[in-house]
Each structure stands twice: as structure tokens, then as C-alpha cells.
Amino acid sequence: GAGVSQSPSNKVTEKGKDVELRCDPISGHTALYWYRQSLGQGLEFLIYFQGNSAPDKSGLPSDRFSAERTGGSVSTLTIQRTQQEDSAVYLCASSLDSYEQYFGPGTRLTVT
């Protein structure tokens, strides 16, 4: 079946601009996660959605980062006023039971 999809696969933006990254989870998966992978660093948790519950935003690095999940499916991660340190690969994962998480291919964000 279809896996997790993310778009765009690559995004180059100028410092100070806003960007939106999209994630389509596996159909039927109720849990959705966003992670960030920077060069030389491990994957860093950003935000977690589970069903209709309030999201766990404890990993968001600043108030420039926000995310929403519409209709319990598609999610959008928004970064406002991008900075060079935001350059990274942004990975989305989904899960049926909050155990095994299946990842998408990621969006590589470059802030110039």
C-alpha cells in the first residue's frame, strides 16, 4: 500500500520567508509525528498529533514553528521568518498504535 508521502521533496528559500511543508500519512494511521534531521545530528522530535487530542508541541524549537492536522489526516508544518539554522531535512512519520512509526522520504529545506 501507499506509504507516507511528503512534499515538496526539496525547498530552497530566502532567510526571512515563510515555508509550508506537507505530510500525507498512511491511510488509517491516527498518530502523526514531525522530526527534524540536521547534518551530524540525530533525529529531533518536533510535534505529535494523536487523533482529535491536543497536539504535543513540546519539541518545537521556537514560536516560529507551528503545525496543524486537518481532518485527522494531512498535516502541514509551517516555519515563519526562516533562519539559516532551520536548514535541515524535515521528516514526517505516522503510526497506527503509537509504537512502530513509518517515515516519509523527507523534505530537504535550505535557507539561503
Task: Answer whether 22's CB lies under 8 Å from 7's CB.
Answer: yes
User: Is 52 one of the binding residues for other proteins (CB under 8 A)?
Assistant: no
The Cα–Cα gap between 88 and 86 comes to 6
Query: Is residue 100 within the footprint of other proteins (CB under 8 A)?
Result: yes
Position among 4, 21, 77, 88 found at the interface with other proteins (CB under 8 A): 4
72 binds other proteins per the rule CB under 8 A: no
- Stretches 13-21, 56-64, 67-75, 77-85: which one binds other proteins (CB under 8 A)? 56-64
Q: How far is the CB of 49 from other proteins (least distance, A)?
A: 10
Residues that bind other proteins (CB under 8 A): 4, 31, 33, 35, 40-45, 48, 50, 56, 58-59, 91, 93, 95, 98-106
